[in-house]
Chains A and B, each alone.
Chain A
Amino acid sequence: MPVSTLRPVSSEEIEALAIGAWILGTGGGGSPYYALLNMRTLYRDGTVVSLMDARDLDDDDLVAVVSNMGAPLVGQERLTDPATIARAVRMMEEHLGREFRAIMSVEIGGGNAIQPFMAAALLGKPVVDADAMGRAFPEAQMTSFAIHDLPMFPLTLADVRDNEVIVTRAASWKWMERLSRKVCVEVGSIAATCKAPRTGREVKECGILGTTTKAIRLGQAVQEARRQHRDPVAAVLQTEGGRLLFSGKVQDVERRTTEGFLRGTARLDGLDQDRERQFTLAFQNEFAVGWLDGEPCVMTPDLICVLDSISGEAIGTETLRYGQRVRVVALPAPPILTTPKGLTHVGPRAFGYDLDFVSVFS
């Protein structure tokens, strides 16, 4: 085992993580609020979770990949609980007959960024500084692990009652989604899951590394700017090498729920240097494509973030509304997502837009 550099994560960093993860959610991913509340409670009781650099993993270490699955509405009543996500991890250990070295998130964007911390707090394991999206995406095959054709099974699913389900095998990512979704609905449309376990080597080669630190850094930049009464949006851009695409106000939002997605478009009218210009955003849970004066200007997998002009707080696709003063910002996508293979999973065509991917940063 190489010398690992475990670093304790402070409660202030957990707060920053929640802010940064919400920004990296690119409009979706679910609010981290209830997960953050759980962490505050755990930290108040003396828990400290450690963060581990993925490069410190041994090749044959085993890493748990966790996420909370379900409908956002249900999550507001049946509140996420560290015990349930920890149980999904333990189930997987029992199923495999091996112990995990560490825990990581499948999705750094939104509430799932904090799920591994909740499990880690109870299980006394470190969290790996990595995820498999570098942002938020709506579907299971939209991960760097899927892009690398790693197996998607087994999967363990824990319910708050004494219900535990293991999907030992699935024919495809699609089948895994269908089977686990069915079980999830049956137990009340909310469940804690531990996805296909990854070896240390798989995480190092196929994971998106450093994203937990990145989310914390983003959140800290916003907090620091607010404290000093500087522009938090500028701080976001500077910290992550992002690009300001548009400053404007929300003029019109049209939404519809189809096939479990929140789809729609938002039209923004320019303010300040963008006066007289228009920006259109299309979203499918997350922001997918943006057009400036009718020309495609930014598209998935580049991260499209809509931030409140004053507070720098991320605005979700569910809460966009007329009159909000916002800035549209692009952050670079992790390189794996913009490879030809990556684009078949998460490029504009994967979301039904007949566009060739052009990065804002190319």
Chain B
Amino acid sequence: MRIGIDVGGTNTDAVVLDGATVVHAVKTPTTADVMGGIMRALRDVLDTSGVATGAIDAVMIGTTHFTNAVIQRRDLTPVAAIRIGLPASASLRPFVDWPDDLAAIVRGAIFMVEGGHEYDGRPIVPLDVAAVRRAARQIRESGIRGVAIASVFSPLNAACEIAAAEVVRDECPDVAITLSHELGRIGLLERENVALLNAALLDLARRTTRAFTDALRGSGIPAPLYLTQNDGTVTIASVAETFPVFAFASGPTNSMRGAAFLSKLADALVIDVGGTTTDVGCLRHGFPREANNVVHVGGVRTLFRMPDLLSLGLGGGSLVTEEPLSVGPVSVGYGLTERALVFGGGELTATDVAVAAGLVDLGDRRRVASLPAGLVKKALARMRAMIDESVDRMKPDASEMPLVAVGGGSFLVPPALDGISDVVLVPHHAVANAVGAAIAQVSGEVDQIFQDLTRDEAIAEARRLAEDRAVRAGADPATLNVVEVEDLPISYLPGNSLRTRVRVVGDVTSHRSR
């Protein structure tokens, strides 16, 4: 059995999953004291389900901690940026496009050194190892504990980042080092930004995962802890804490994975309607489609593995006004159960409109009986138009496909939409995110350039590396499956170069079978 927990801004959801069956689900308000909330959710779910702590194989937690830390500018540590690439890219230094308030917190020191590569694999100039060493000594003296290293074209050739990391480790054995090629894609500033954010979050990530682990132990659960990642998989906490940026947007990702599991659909659109916002995404082979463009996190441009999501300011708590007609983006949020009309409050919300229209039965229906029918109709039409357009924008092409509606506000989704073959409602839809966390598997991915190997040899080597990574992330070696293989010959690289991407997925190791 597994426990999946999703810590959202409004609610902390927890489920117990036995195989493919949701045994129990609870929804509790997220408290300022997040750990307390998780402890309570764990206790609730164990107490009410009656599941023995020893029967739990794994606990998966999805958290907005790290995203929120960036957005709210808290719990971040200063970072030393080492940029390798001079004389290229000299004028746009690390942090150049960061919001001032965030840069003021994270920008510890900047070092620009010679090195880096061309798009065709040649060095721009040789790596200036002496300069890296000087930088490392200054970092040691300054007391900065996080270092992010980004080299020009490192996704194609990571040699400079790896060599620089060795020098830094040699001079400052205690600092935590983030290498940009392990996180991001082509796009120096955006990849460097991801590495800087990651380095700034490492302290928080370590403290958070330790606290999660303590919460588990405090609840008497001996199972290993996994953190959910934004590609729809999980990673064992000890590895996950070194890549906190991979937890960004893991909430909507969990919802989409939960929707895939609960609906048994692998290719579908998913709409997750919460209290304040709605996220729309697209499932491909059961996993969220990746965004191929720049995604802003707390005002910082990033380009890395993130789910492709469209967020709109519509939710169950969205305020509705008549003249002029508007729905959202302002919302009563978690205040819904006090401020909405049907709950005795004084604000007209999307939920009130839905109750008046008979879409859902919540609170006291009589309190919305006097709402003008015209207003209800107009507000519903507006919500429908918002959902219609957002869903259509996220479709991969014009052909019809199903839409799975999840989340506490999913009653706002009309039963039929243009270009949608079927609007699918699923049981446990309100805790789809926790279900998505609970079912997650472990993945290992390799995306690199192999030289002077045949295609088969390159793929075999990539597979071996990907399997290694998956096992390190907590996968059971016996269950590994290759889910994606992609190879691209790169004509402009010297020798016989092949860019090979392999992704393997496996089940989490059962601690009881070890």
Residues of A within 8 A of B (CB): 34, 37-38, 41, 71, 73-74, 76-83, 160-161, 188-189, 249, 251-252, 319, 322-325
Residues on B with C-beta less than 8 A from A252 are 397-398
Given A34-B92, A38-B91, A251-B398: A79 and B189 interface contact (C-beta under 8 Å): yes
Q: Contacting A37 at CB < 8 Å: which of B92, B152, B395?
A: B92
Q: Contacting A188 at CB < 8 Å: which of B97, B124, B189, B394?
A: B124
In the assembled complex, how far is the CB of residue B399 from the closest CB belonging to chain A, in whole angstroms?
10
Q: What are 7 A-B pairs with beta-carbon distances under 8 A?
A: A41-B92, A73-B119, A78-B152, A79-B88, A81-B90, A161-B125, A188-B119
The B177-217 residues at the A interface (CB cut-off 8 A) are 186-189
In the assembled complex, how far is the CB of residue B88 from the closest CB belonging to chain A, in whole angstroms?
4
Give B372-416 as 1s and 0s: 1 = Cβ < 8 Å from A's Cβ atoms: 000000000000000001001111111000000000000000000
Additional pairs, 13, CB under 8 Å, beyond known A71-B119, A73-B119, A76-B188: A37-B97, A37-B189, A41-B91, A41-B96, A77-B88, A77-B119, A81-B92, A188-B124, A189-B118, A322-B397, A323-B393, A323-B395, A325-B393
Residues on B with C-beta less than 8 A from A319 are 293
Give B83-116 as 1s and 0s: 1 = Cβ < 8 Å from A's Cβ atoms: 0010111111000110000000000000000000
Residues on B with C-beta less than 8 A from A81 are 88-92
Cα(A76)–Cα(B156), bound, Å: 13
In the assembled complex, how far is the CB of residue A224 from the closest CB belonging to chain B, in whole angstroms?
22
Given A188-B119, A252-B397: A78 and B187 interface contact (C-beta under 8 Å): no
Residues on B with C-beta less than 8 A from A74 are 119
Report if B153 contacts A (CB, 8 A): yes
> Can you list the 10 inter-chain pairs with the closest CB atoms, starting with the nearest?
A323-B393, A79-B89, A81-B91, A160-B87, A78-B88, A188-B118, A76-B187, A77-B188, A160-B88, A79-B92
- Tell whether, in the assembled complex, residue A249 and residue B97 are in contact, meaning their CB atoms are under 8 Å apart: no
- Tell whether, in the assembled complex, residue A79 and residue B91 are in contact, meaning their CB atoms are under 8 Å apart: yes
In the assembled complex, how far is the CB of residue B121 from the closest CB belonging to chain A, in whole angstroms?
11
Residues on B with C-beta less than 8 A from A37 are 92, 96-97, 189
- Tell whether, in the assembled complex, residue A325 and residue B389 are in contact, meaning their CB atoms are under 8 Å apart: yes
- Tell whether, in the assembled complex, residue A77 and residue B87 are in contact, meaning their CB atoms are under 8 Å apart: no
Number of B residues near A (Cβ < 8 Å) is: 30
Cα(A72)–Cα(B392), bound, Å: 30
Residues on A with C-beta less than 8 A from B96 are 37, 41
Cα(A74)–Cα(B125), bound, Å: 16
- Tell whether, in the assembled complex, residue B91 and residue A82 are in contact, meaning their CB atoms are under 8 Å apart: yes
In the assembled complex, how far is the CB of residue B321 from the closest CB belonging to chain A, in whole angstroms?
16
Chain A interface SS verdict (over half): loop
The chain B residue sitting closest to A324, CB to CB, is B393
Cα(A252)–Cα(B398), bound, Å: 8
Residues on B with C-beta less than 8 A from A189 are 118-119
- Tell whether, in the assembled complex, residue A322 and residue B188 are in contact, meaning their CB atoms are under 8 Å apart: no
Residues of B within 8 A of A (CB): 85, 87-92, 96-97, 118-120, 122, 124-125, 152-153, 186-189, 293, 389, 392-398
Cα(A136)–Cα(B228), bound, Å: 45
In the assembled complex, how far is the CB of residue B184 from the closest CB belonging to chain A, in whole angstroms?
11
Cα(A260)–Cα(B389), bound, Å: 35
- Tell whether, in the assembled complex, residue A78 and residue B89 are in contact, meaning their CB atoms are under 8 Å apart: yes
The chain B residue sitting closest to A187, CB to CB, is B118
The chain A residue sitting closest to B125, CB to CB, is A161
- Tell whether, in the assembled complex, residue A38 and residue B392 are in contact, meaning their CB atoms are under 8 Å apart: no
- Tell whether, in the assembled complex, residue B393 and residue A77 are in contact, meaning their CB atoms are under 8 Å apart: no
Most B-side CB within 10 Å, residue of A34, A319, A325 = A34
The chain B residue sitting closest to A188, CB to CB, is B118
Residues on A with C-beta less than 8 A from B188 are 76-79
Cα(A78)–Cα(B97), bound, Å: 16
In the assembled complex, how far is the CB of residue A317 from the closest CB belonging to chain B, in whole angstroms?
15
Cα(A37)–Cα(B190), bound, Å: 13
- Tell whether, in the assembled complex, residue B87 and residue A161 are in contact, meaning their CB atoms are under 8 Å apart: yes
- Tell whether, in the assembled complex, residue A77 and residue B187 are in contact, meaning their CB atoms are under 8 Å apart: yes
Most B-side CB within 10 Å, residue of A76, A81, A251 = A76
Cα(A333)–Cα(B153), bound, Å: 39
In the assembled complex, how far is the CB of residue B250 from the closest CB belonging to chain A, in whole angstroms?
25
Cα(A79)–Cα(B89), bound, Å: 5
Cα(A188)–Cα(B118), bound, Å: 6
Residues on B with C-beta less than 8 A from A323 are 392-395
Cα(A329)–Cα(B92), bound, Å: 34
Cα(A188)–Cα(B393), bound, Å: 37
The chain A residue sitting closest to B397, CB to CB, is A322
In the assembled complex, how far is the CB of residue A216 from the closest CB belonging to chain B, in whole angstroms?
22
Cα(A34)–Cα(B90), bound, Å: 12
Residues on B with C-beta less than 8 A from A73 are 119, 186
Residues on A with C-beta less than 8 A from B396 are 322
Q: Contacting B153 at CB < 8 Å: which of A77, A83, A161, A251?
A: A77
Cα(A319)–Cα(B292), bound, Å: 10
Cα(A126)–Cα(B394), bound, Å: 46
Cα(A160)–Cα(B123), bound, Å: 13
In the assembled complex, how far is the CB of residue B223 from the closest CB belonging to chain A, in whole angstroms?
42
Cα(A249)–Cα(B395), bound, Å: 12
The chain B residue sitting closest to A267, CB to CB, is B398
Residues on B with C-beta less than 8 A from A79 are 88-89, 91-92, 188-189
Cα(A82)–Cα(B90), bound, Å: 9
Cα(A21)–Cα(B293), bound, Å: 21
Cα(A82)–Cα(B91), bound, Å: 7
In the assembled complex, how far is the CB of residue A129 from the closest CB belonging to chain B, in whole angstroms?
25
In the assembled complex, how far is the CB of residue B130 from the closest CB belonging to chain A, in whole angstroms?
19
In the assembled complex, how far is the CB of residue A65 from the closest CB belonging to chain B, in whole angstroms?
22
Cα(A239)–Cα(B97), bound, Å: 30
The chain B residue sitting closest to A122, CB to CB, is B91
Cα(A60)–Cα(B79), bound, Å: 54
- Tell whether, in the assembled complex, residue A322 and residue B91 are in contact, meaning their CB atoms are under 8 Å apart: no
- Tell whether, in the assembled complex, residue A77 and residue B91 are in contact, meaning their CB atoms are under 8 Å apart: no
Residues on A with C-beta less than 8 A from B90 are 81, 83, 160
The chain A residue sitting closest to B188, CB to CB, is A77
Residues on A with C-beta less than 8 A from B393 are 323-325
In the assembled complex, how far is the CB of residue A322 from the closest CB belonging to chain B, in whole angstroms?
5
Residues on B with C-beta less than 8 A from A80 are 91
- Tell whether, in the assembled complex, residue A77 and residue B92 are in contact, meaning their CB atoms are under 8 Å apart: no
Given A161-B125, A323-B392: A76 and B92 interface contact (C-beta under 8 Å): no
Cα(A357)–Cα(B177), bound, Å: 59
Residues on B with C-beta less than 8 A from A71 are 119
In the assembled complex, how far is the CB of residue B494 from the closest CB belonging to chain A, in whole angstroms?
14
